[in-house]
Amino acid sequence: AGPSSLEGVRVLLTAGPTREPVDPVRFLGNRSSGRMGYALAESLADLGARVVLVSGPTALSMPRVHERIGVETALEMHAAVMSRVADCDLFVATAAVADYRPERPADGKIKKSAEGLTLRLVRNPDILSEVAALDPAPFTVGFAAETERVADYALGKLRDKRLDMIAANLVGGERGGFERDENALSVFWPEGSRDLPMMSKTRLAAELAALIAERYRERHAA
């Protein structure tokens, strides 16, 4: 196998948003379309990996991967990942997972009555941190979506969560990030970094997949 082959490597990858129920008809969500994650799943599969995709709700069709597991909430995504993680060599967290969920979703549709409404939110498990803390842990790649100081925050997450790699993007701007067809990434690993400039998410995914494969192969060369 060459430096960028992932032949025989088992990949578990999360993508898309999560939906956190408020009541039977409403949820808290975010702007992730799943495009970046689906493109990366296919690029990793193109390098020979057997990819299992855990996906939040998206409008995308089934990508060219081994298996796709559909989930809705962060707790469901957490359960799906934890039940599969022992069988993977490489974990990639592209999903935009809600950090908080409503503490207790209402049983019936919340009626419009008072002038204000307070929702109490509680923390969701951090899937990426939990996976990185496993012993043994798979080779773990995180994403970081930031609206400012991208490199600082990404390096913080790489260190604090003890990741093998992190791909950081600027979100909320004119170009790139959530929903769009193109994106740019700054990729960091403990010994180095690489800037991947603005391009289509398909091309960007291919470049990131090659970078992941190189680092993964280097780790497993010894």
User: Residue numbers of the site for ligand PMT (CB under 6 A)?
Assistant: 14, 32-37, 74, 93-97, 99, 124, 126-128, 142-145, 169, 171, 177-179
111 appears as a binding residue in the annotation: no
Nearer to ligand PMT, 117 or 122 (CB): 122
CA–CA distance, 72 with 26 (Å, rounded to integer): 13
Nearer to ligand PMT, 178 or 210 (CB): 178
Shortest distance in whole angstroms from residue 97 CB to ligand PMT: 4
89 appears as a binding residue in the annotation: no
Shortest distance in whole angstroms from residue 178 CB to ligand PMT: 4
112 appears as a binding residue in the annotation: no
Shortest distance in whole angstroms from residue 102 CB to ligand PMT: 15
CA 169 to chain centre: 12
Residue 171 half-sphere exposure toward CB, CA atoms < 13 A: 15
**Kind of pairing between the strands at 26-28 and 20-23:** antiparallel
Helix (H, G, I), strand (E, B) or coil at 194: strand
Burial 15-37, CB ≥16 within 10 A → b, else e: bbbbbbebeeeebbebebbbbbb
169 flagged as catalytic: no
110 appears as a binding residue in the annotation: no
Shortest distance in whole angstroms from residue 177 CB to ligand PMT: 5
Question: How many helices and strands in the chain, by DSSP H and E?
Answer: 5, 12
Annotated binding-site members: 99, 109, 125-128, 143, 157, 161
Q: Enumerate the active-site residues.
A: 30
Annotated binding-site members for CTP: 99, 109, 125-128, 143, 157, 161
